[in-house]
Amino acid sequence: MSEPFLNYISGRWLSARSGRTFANHNPANGDHLGDYPASGPEDVNDAVAAATHAFKSWRLTPAPKRAEIVFRAGEIIRERKEDLARAMTREMGKILVETRGDVQEGIDMAYLAAGEGRRMYGVTTPSEMPNKWAMSVRAPIGVAGIITPWNFPFAIPSWKLMPALVAGNTAVFKPAGDTPEMAWHFSKIFEEAGLPPGVLNLVFGSGSQVGSPMVEHPGIHVISFTGSTDVGLQIAGRGGALGKRISLEMGGKNAIIVMEDADLALATDAIVWSAFGTTGQRCTACSRVLVHEQVHDRLAEKVAARAKQLKLGDGLDAATEVGPLVNAKQVETVEAYVAIGKGEGSLVAGGARASGGALAKGHFHQPTVFAAVKHDARIAVEEIFGPVLAMVKVRSLEEAVQVNNASRYGLSSSIFTADVNRAFAAMRDLETGIVYVNHGTTGAETHLPFGGTRGTGNGHREAGHTMLDPFTEWKSIYVDFSGRLQRAQIDNA
């Protein structure tokens, strides 16, 4: 009999207090993958109590020792990479080469975050008074509430939890209901790596029954959320009113700009990968191409031809290039936007649910391309989170930048051009958190900050040298060894 899937609270594996469960299914074929606790506010209370108790000793554990546990977790993840990738493909659908990459981000993040255990730099600076020492150091905030999405179910928890733990925080972790198994594996690995009881607590359940109580709970001091902009802004409003620190990673409507001098073959490769990788279910996915009018038709023809050739199927099949959408509701959302798009542009590829043969039991939709879409059309401005691409004509780089920056979102953007002057102008003028030159909109690396502007985020960044910022406070310390009272600016006038 396989091990049951349970919450992890104070070092113990527990059912929800209510005894209720929910089912997890494979989106490619509907197979039942297990049942998980349908937790409620009472389980959140237990997890927060455990995290609060564990914080007293965890924050006093030397940072290099905390980091050693994170590093050991990274080593375990590396050893189990293939098994974890296959479990992820079964659970959320994206193809195996992509889930291997998702797990690899967890490995990379473990090593990067572990390094902070021996850095975690503060600042020393001269005092304005004699015989006085001045410095600033990072301090943990307390209990972190971590709420993660289903599309990167191993990487995104790694980006949040590993820095939070290295910095000395404890955590309550709520994963998405569509990908509970990866959170279970993540927590099991940290248990095996030697994380003390209560430092990491895993609570399965819905947004209303677990997520909202976490935001409301007075014992949780910082919330780190990745998900939709609408939900993120609700969290920001309520959490902010309660005085919590809120770190948000939200939606995207990312554009690739293609100028008339671009390498169209390379641009086509990048567009197809960025638009249809993870079945378009990435916050960094390319969902619009702002293409110079001189090459619009040629590029649309190339992209459409490639989209039609993509093979749909189970992500565990090596021949599959596009897996299923995560659930039936997401298929309905995509279908609704495709219907809207048929009145807003020229349909040149796809446009329908894919349900024949081996796809019949899964949540599949054809990779879909619309050409000659107006820049303010709904399919060109609203986040779809599916395999739908809108191609928009522009007359100049300046117009492309203007259209890009008018978006509600500001995560990732890209330009294809052979002109170095245009490339540098785009790097300067594109108002997104990530900018690529002669590359698609996906492919961020863990040692650079990740995040966006406007409706994509609220100023925080994950990964890179900024990873500790959401989870630490700055403490300024003065040591006066003058032996007399020095009144700073009063005595320094």
If asked whether residues 263 and 311 sit together in one domain, one would say yes
The answer as to whether 448 is a domain residue is no
DSSP 439: S
If asked whether residues 180 and 201 sit together in one domain, one would say yes
The answer as to whether 230 is a domain residue is yes
Mean pLDDT of the region 356-366: 95
pLDDT for 148: 98
The answer as to whether 487 is a domain residue is no
Strand partners, 480: 132
If asked whether residues 270 and 418 sit together in one domain, one would say yes
Q: What is the CATH number of the domain that holds 393?
A: 3.40.309.10
- Check pLDDT > 60 for residue 17: yes
- Check pLDDT > 60 for residue 381: yes
If asked whether residues 243 and 267 sit together in one domain, one would say no
The answer as to whether 484 is a domain residue is no
What DSSP element (H or E) covers 41? helix 41-58
pLDDT band for 491, please (50, 70, 90 cuts). Answer: confident
| Nearby residues of 182 by Cβ (< 8 Å), 6 or more positions away | 84, 87, 88, 91, 92, 153, 154, 157, 175
If asked whether residues 191 and 298 sit together in one domain, one would say no
Asked about 283 being catalytic, the answer comes back as yes
Pairwise CA distance, residues 185 & 173, whole Å: 13
The answer as to whether 443 is a domain residue is no
- Mean of all residue pLDDT scores within the chain: 97
The answer as to whether 491 is a domain residue is no
Q: Which of 283, 286, 321, 344 is catalytic?
A: 283
pLDDT for 2: 65
Q: Domain of 54?
A: 7-250+457-476
If asked whether residues 413 and 461 sit together in one domain, one would say no
The answer as to whether 488 is a domain residue is no
If asked whether residues 17 and 150 sit together in one domain, one would say yes
How many domains does the chain fold into?
2
If asked whether residues 27 and 128 sit together in one domain, one would say yes
DSSP 471: G
If asked whether residues 109 and 181 sit together in one domain, one would say yes
pLDDT for 181: 98
What DSSP element (H or E) covers 349? strand 346-349
pLDDT band for 487, please (50, 70, 90 cuts). Answer: very high
pLDDT for 428: 98
If asked whether residues 423 and 461 sit together in one domain, one would say no
If asked whether residues 44 and 190 sit together in one domain, one would say yes
Spatial contact of 228 and 250, defined as CB atoms under 8 Å apart: yes
Of 117, 131, 432, give the one whose Cα is nearest residue 284. 432
- Check pLDDT > 80 for residue 432: yes
Q: What is the CATH number of the domain that holds 175?
A: 3.40.605.10
- Percentage of the chain lying above the pLDDT 90 cut: 98
In tens, the pLDDT along 252-306 reads: 999 999 999 999 999 999 999 999 999 999 999 999 999 999 999 999 999 999 9
- Check pLDDT > 70 for residue 396: yes
If asked whether residues 392 and 429 sit together in one domain, one would say yes
pLDDT for 1: 40
Q: Which of 105, 249, 344, 383 is catalytic?
A: 249
The answer as to whether 19 is a domain residue is yes
